[in-house]
Structure 1
Amino acid sequence: MQPAKPTVSIVIPAYNEESVIRQCLIAAIYQSMPAHEILVVDNRSTDRTADIVRHMQLEYPESPIKLLEQNEEQGLIPTRNHGLNQATGDVLGRIDADSVLEPDWVETVQTGFTDPVVAAATGPVVYYDMPMRRWGLKADDKMRQLVLKLARNQYHFLFGSNMALRRTAWEQIRGSTCRDERDEMHEDIDLSLHLAEQDLVIRYIPGMVSGMSARRLEDSPKDYRYYVTRFDRTYRAHEVNQRVLKIPMLIFMSIYYPAKVLRAVHTARTGRTAAPQR
């Protein structure tokens, strides 16, 4: 007898995401296997984010979209935590408001988590507002598999735009995850390290694909460098010193200028900076 496939919640922290939240939700709705619930956690948005979600609840009344509010404090981590704590699925998917899931994402996550050893999982991303998207997906996949191989499978990191963890694993680590009040770290790397500290298995699933925006390239060089060096600050907070773990940071630093040029050319040709709506 085949083991029952776990239910999957999708948690989407959101702050002023009116330009992208609709396309994110449409992709989450149109899945080959439906999500157990789709939780948008609004964090004091001052734009139309919450209104768009409410409108989509009316437009798609059979979809499991729920709108939550996290107004106690500003920040991604408390907003993420509120969503994960409120989610009721066996597996808690966590994506960004600019993520656009592939149509089989929920089904792929369900299959991956039928293995009881798997506590968390992540997959590659495709940048939908960049040229040569499928080539970019292959490159992203190869980079992640290379880092995992070089780390001898000791470390693998969740990616906030495309990740999932078993609810029991979240319950095991949620009391110890870093609050990062100074906003210096990568919250998804921190989550990964807390899982590793508990010997909880993170699985890389190549078919677990999410689209995301390359809007980070709009940052100034100074801001982009600060974003990338969050890797180092997160490692130091956990007293982790592995040279191989610097590879993603070096890759992100090296691609900034060429990727910025490619995105500018793509935007000029298409007139779009966001994914087309379905």
Structure 2
Amino acid sequence: MSLKYKVSIIIPVLNKWELTKNCLVSLAEHTPREIYEVIVIDNGSTDKTPTMAKHFGLNLFGKHFKYIRLSKNINFGPACNLGAKIAKSDFLFFLNNDTILTPNWLEPLLKAFTQDPSLGAIGPLLLYPNNTVQHLGVVFSLRNKVFHLYSQFPKNHYVVQKKRYFQAITGAAFLIPKKLFWQLNGFFEKYKNGSEDIDLCARIIQNSHKLTVIPNSVIYHLESQSQDRNKHDNYNAYLLTKRCEHIFKPDAWKFYLQDGYKVKITKYLKLFITSDSQEKEIPQSIEKIKKIIFNEPYLWEGYKKLVTFYIKKNKFQEGIDLCYFALSFYPEEKILPWLSLFAQKQNNIQIIHEISTLQNKLKIQSTQIKEKGKEYVKKLLKKEPTLEPLLLNWLKRYSINY
């Protein structure tokens, strides 16, 4: 009689044996033994993986472990689909090997499905090793760019702990009922290690199911450790746009407003997010301001005070470090003047060159906005009519006739 599990944990791997090893150890340590199986799909590894993985996995999991060795790399989506075909479970959990599981990670995910029948797929809260957010949901910008909401926010920030529904979540740690996965034909296999998860999410929401992340399920994610991780970004973005552009709506701005932030649109149709929650309480101590900014990365007035201080005290390297931190949260056009000033003062040729490249990109975007600003607005309003107040204000501010 074949074994039947609650969850099949499918881990596609390509080299990086030490990452796979650490992932498997944490999985064995923090997961109830009898309810799951582990399926490692080896995409033609050439390191220690082929000689180590099978025996290591069997020692950890016994009959709960399967190792499938492929002669070549068939990419993430096809490897996941292969694992799903041999899975003996009700749920499939796709997991990157550059992850570390923590206590009680699985139970909240399974519980969520029993509490909410409308769910199609869910994921855990993914954190960087420094306890900031790597992923709590995927959102879409006004220009239809995909990014992670509140990336690099501290894990204890109030916005991190909220439960929300998304249009997409990452496939790095992704739980879905097997029946639904195959009903939707699994991962679309023409992507090359990117965007397969977003494409599947599009089909899930079209099938009238919801997507969410469960904050009290936590997994650490090192992110983008696979070989040539970003090599095919342009191709994948093109394919995703071709297949799914009509499905997704710009939604990042809604989350920011719902969470109490101020939202403006820059000249380049990018979101400028600020918080005034602590502006009146900003201290004089530079170290205290830095700590406050780490805990509230959208406190714009705090950055301005630090920049003024670093200029006054000739602390140019500290200013550069601050600017690179700020670029994780703010549009380039807001930060580049500061970064340029500090780089010029320090005569940092490399950074000056980087700034020049970014400024040239902004010039191109500026030309596009002048030529097609009205078209962008019409397209956005057709997708999301509730954007009208923000967009009309943008048109007025930058003197674009509509």
Settle same-fold status: TM greater than 0.5. Answer: yes
Query: Which residue is equivalent to 2:245?
Result: 239
Looking at structure 2, the residues matched to 75 and 90 of structure 1 have their Cα atoms a distance apart, in angstroms, of 24
Q: Could you tell which deviates more after superposition, 157-166 or 50-59?
A: 50-59
Letter in 2 for 1:164: L
Q: Distance in 2 between matches of 1:37 and 1:107?
A: 15
Query: What is the correspondence of 1:100-111 to structure 2 with a 5 Å cutoff?
Result: 100-111=100-111
Distance change >3 Å, CA 32–CA 55, structure 1 → 2: closer
**Structure-2 change in CA distance of 1:198 and 1:141 (3 Å):** farther
| Distance verdict in 2 for CA 1:188–1:257, change over 3 Å | farther
Taking a change above 3 Å as real, the CA distance of residues 193 and 18 of structure 1, as seen in their structure-2 partners, is same
- Answer yes or no: is the 8 Å Cα contact 2:98–2:225 preserved in 1: no
CA distance in 1, matches of 2:326, 2:237: 20
Listed one character per residue, the Cα deviations across residues 146-173 of structure 1 (whole Å, up to 9, x for unaligned) are: 9x5xxxx4x4322122210001111211
Deviation per CA, 1:161-188, whole angstroms, max 9, x where unpaired?
A: 221000111121116x42225x385111
Among 325, 329, 336, the residue aligned to 1:258: 325
Give the alignment of 1:206-245 within 5 angstroms: 206-215=215-224, 223=230, 227=233, 234-240=240-246, 241-244=248-251
| Closer, same or farther: CA 217–97 of 1 in aligned 2, 3 Å | closer
Matched, 1:60 2:127: no
1:193 aligned counterpart, secondary structure: helix
TM-score, normalised on structure 1? Answer: 0.70
Q: Which has the higher contact order (CA 8 A, sep 6+)?
A: 1
- Structure 2 equivalent of residue 165 of structure 1: 176
1:88–1:73 CA distance, 2 compared to 1 (3 A) = same
Deviations 1:116-143 (A, max 9, x none): 4332111221112xx3548855279936
Within-5 A mapping of 1:1-278: 7-34=6-33, 35-60=35-60, 62=62, 64-71=64-71, 74-115=74-115, 116-128=117-129, 131-133=130-132, 136=153, 138=155, 142=159, 148=164, 153=165, 155-174=166-185, 177-181=187-191, 183=192, 185-215=194-224, 223=230, 227=233, 234-240=240-246, 241-244=248-251, 257-258=324-325
Distance between the aligned counterparts of 2:324 and 2:244, measured in 1?
Answer: 30
The residue matched to 2:200 in structure 1 has which SS?
A: helix
1: distance between equivalents of 2:31 and 2:226? 32
SS at match of 1:30: helix
Which AA in structure 1 matches 2:217?
A: M
Q: Could you say if the C-alpha distance between residues 138 and 235 of structure 1 is closer, same or farther in structure 2, counting changes exceeding 3 Å?
A: farther
Moved more, 52-61 or 40-49: 52-61
Distance 1:158 1:37, change over 3 A: same
**What is the CA-CA distance between 1:49 and the residue it aligns to?**
1.3
Distance 1:71-1:158 versus aligned 2 partners, 3 A rule: farther
Q: Is the 8 A contact 2:8 2:93 kept in 1?
A: yes
Which whole-Å CA distance do the structure 2 matches of 1:32 and 1:77 have between them?
Answer: 25
Cα contact 1:100–1:212 (8 A) shared by 2: yes
Unaligned runs of 5+ in 1: 1-5, 262-278
Q: For 2:14 and 2:226, how far apart are their aligned partners in 1?
A: 19
C-alpha displacement of 1:256: 11
1:235 shift after superposition: 4.1
Residue 75 of structure 2 contacts residue 193 of structure 2 at CA under 8 Å; is this kept in 1?
no
SS of residue paired to 1:205:
strand
Query: Cα–Cα, structure 1 residues 52 and 65, in superposed 2: closer, same or farther, change >3 Å?
Result: same
The structural deviation recorded for 1:71 is: 4.1
Cα distance between partner residues in 2 of 1:256 and 1:64: 48
Two-structure CA RMSD over aligned residues (Å) = 4.0
CA distance in 2: counterparts of 1:208 and 1:133, whole angstroms: 15
- Give the TM-score normalised by the residue count of structure 2: 0.50
Distance 2:226 2:8 in 1: 30
- 1-side partners of 2:11 and 2:227: how far apart? 22
Change (3 A) 1:159 1:142: farther
Instruction: Give the letter for the 2:82 counterpart.
Output: H
Report the number of matched residues.
239
